[in-house]
Amino acid sequence: MKKKILAALMIGAITFTNMGVGALSVYAEETDGQTTDGETSDGEGQDGEEPCVHQWDTVYSVDSLMTCTEPGQISIHCTLCGESNEETVISVNAYGHSYEHFVTQATTTAAGKQYDKCEICGDVINEEVIPKASSISLAATSYVYDGTKKKPAVIVKGSDGTIIPAANYKVVYDSGLKDVGTYSVTITFRGELYSGTVTKSFTIVPKATALKSLVAGSKKLTAKWTKQAIQTTGYQVQYALNSKFSSAKTVTISKNTTVSKAISKLTSKKTYYVRIRTYKKVGTKAYYSAWSKAKSVKVK
Ligand SMILES: [Zn+2]
Ligand SMILES: [Zn+2]
**Beta-carbon contacts of residue 66 (< 8 Å; ≥ 6 apart):** 11, 72, 92, 93, 94, 95
**Residue-wise pLDDT tens digits, 186-195:** 999 999 999 9
Cβ neighbours, 10 Å, residue 299: 20
**CA 198 to the chain's CA centroid:** 12
The phi, psi pair for 126, rounded to 5°, reads 55, 35
The Cα 199–Cα 158 span in angstroms is: 17
- Give burial (CB, 10 Å; 0-12/13-18/19+) of 4: exposed
Whole-number pLDDT of residue 48 = 63
Domain boundaries, the chain: 2-41+48-92, 99-130, 135-205, 211-298
11 CA distance to ligand 2 middle (Å): 14
CATH class of 211-298: mainly beta
Model pLDDT, residue 47: 58
Question: What is the Å distance from ligand 2's center to 19 Cα?
Answer: 13
Nearest ligand (C-alpha, residue 119): 2
Q: How many residues does the chain have?
A: 300
Q: Looking at the CA of 83, name the nearest ligand.
A: 1
Distance CA 71, CA 287 (A): 75
Find the ligand nearest to 76 CA: 1
- Residue 20 has a pLDDT of 35
Residue 15 CB: number of other CB atoms within 10 A? 15
Give the residue from 165, 155, 161 showing the smallest Cα distance to 190.
165
CATH superfamily entry for domain 135-205: Immunoglobulins (2.60.40.10)
Ligand nearest the Cα atom of residue 84: 1
Exposed / middle / buried, residue 275 (Cβ in 10 Å: 0-12, 13-18, 19+)? buried
Q: What is the largest CA-CA distance in the chain?
A: 142
Exposed (0-12), middle (13-18) or buried (19+): which is 59, by Cβ within 10 Å? middle
CA of residue 71 to ligand 2 center, whole Å: 12
Say how many Å lie between the CA of residue 6 and the centre of ligand 1.
Answer: 22
Domains 135-205 and 211-298 share a fold: yes
User: pLDDT tens digits for the chain (300 residues)?
Assistant: 233 332 333 333 233 333 333 334 344 444 444 444 444 444 444 556 789 999 999 999 999 999 999 999 999 999 999 999 999 999 999 989 999 999 999 999 999 999 999 999 999 999 999 999 999 999 999 999 999 999 999 999 999 999 999 999 999 999 999 999 999 999 999 999 999 999 999 999 999 999 999 999 999 999 999 999 999 999 999 999 999 999 999 999 999 999 999 999 999 999 999 999 999 999 999 999 999 999 999 999
> What is the model's pLDDT at position 248?
97
Q: Ligand 1 centre and the CA of 53: distance in Å?
A: 6
- Tens digits of residue pLDDT in 198-257: 999 999 999 999 999 999 999 999 999 999 999 999 999 999 999 999 999 999 999 999
Q: What is the structure's pLDDT at 49?
A: 74
Backbone angles phi, psi at 122, to 5 degrees: 85, 5
How remote is the CA of residue 25 from the centroid of ligand 1, in Å? 24
Task: Compute, in angstroms, the gap from residue 90 CA to the centroid of ligand 2.
Answer: 22
- Number of helices and strands (H, E) in the chain? 0, 24
Task: Give residue 267's Cα distance to chain centre.
Answer: 62
Q: What is residue 33's predicted lDDT score, i.e. its pLDDT?
A: 44
Q: Please give the distance, rounded to the nearest whole angstrom, from the Cα atom of residue 95 to the centre of ligand 2.
A: 8
How many Å lie between the centroid of ligand 2 and the Cα of residue 63?
Answer: 20
Q: What gap in Å lies between CA 173 and CA 190, rounded to an integer? A: 17
Q: How far is the CA of 16 from the centre of ligand 2 (A)?
A: 16
- How far away, in angstroms, is 36 Cα from ligand 1 center? 11
Q: What does the CA dihedral 12, 13, 15, 19 come to, rounded to 10 degrees?
A: -100
Is the Cα torsion angle 73, 79, 82, 87 positive or negative in sign?
Answer: negative
The number of the ligand nearest the C-alpha atom of 97 reads: 2
